């Protein structure tokens, strides 16, 4: 199932050929991802170029790479509605307590995608937890980085089968 990730800034994660993850104001082929659920975590792959999203342990950034190791495995953390309010976005130090997890490491149920009951139509609020325990985050300045804690800037709306909006 193809997905797109909309950030709190209403932009979309983008895996372009430059190597660093970016964000865009539209959904085109570069903003669509495939989720490959494995026992070791969820691999987020960009079908258009075959590269994987990576959160390297020695770098604070989030990248688009050819390899498929531990730094390319994520846990999809479902963030329940009401766990954070929209007006909390300005509080960069805000913390959330995820109530449910899917696609992670270590337990038998963790390799499953979010359950059908958790989907609100074609969208679900999630955080992307890395193998290092950090979270994919979009900063106020628009950079895609790793954050040490789960807060408002680390929550994405994962959109199932997104409609392409790129007009290029």
User: In Å, what is the CA distance from 18 to each residue of 30, 49, 51, 52, 154?
Assistant: 11, 12, 11, 13, 22
Supply φ then ψ for residue 136, to 5 degrees. -65, 135
Q: Is the pLDDT of residue 117 over 50?
A: no
User: How does strand 73-78 pair with strand 123-130?
Assistant: antiparallel
Summarize pLDDT for 48-88 with one digit per residue, the tens: 888 899 998 655 788 888 888 888 999 999 998 655 544 44
Q: What's the predicted TM-score (pTM) here?
A: 0.78
108 CB neighbour count, 10 Å cutoff: 7
Q: Is the pLDDT of residue 98 over 50?
A: no
Q: Is the pLDDT of residue 113 over 90?
A: no
Q: Residue 59: its pLDDT value, please?
A: 58
Q: What CATH number does the domain located at 2-160 have? A: 2.80.10.50
């Amino acid at each position: 199932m193809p997905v797109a990730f909309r950030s709190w800034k209403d932009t979309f994660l983008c895996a372009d050929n430059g190597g660093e993850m970016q964000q865009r104001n539209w959904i085109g082929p570069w903003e669509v991802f495939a989720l490959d659920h494995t026992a070791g975590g969820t691999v987020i792959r960009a079908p258009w170029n075959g590269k994987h999203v990576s959160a390297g342990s020695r770098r604070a950034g989030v990248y688009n790479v050819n390899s498929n190791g531990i730094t390319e495995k994520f846990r999809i953390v479902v963030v329940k509605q009401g766990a954070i309010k929209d007006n909390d976005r300005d509080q960069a130090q805000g913390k959330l307590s995820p109530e449910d997890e899917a696609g992670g490491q270590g337990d038998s149920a963790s390799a499953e995608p979010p359950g059908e009951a958790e989907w609100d139509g074609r969208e679900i609020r999630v955080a992307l937890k890395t193998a290092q325990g950090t979270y994919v985050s979009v900063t106020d300045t628009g950079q895609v980085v790793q954050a040490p804690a789960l807060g408002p800037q680390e929550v994405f709306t994962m959109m199932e089968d997104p409609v392409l909006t790129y007009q290029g």
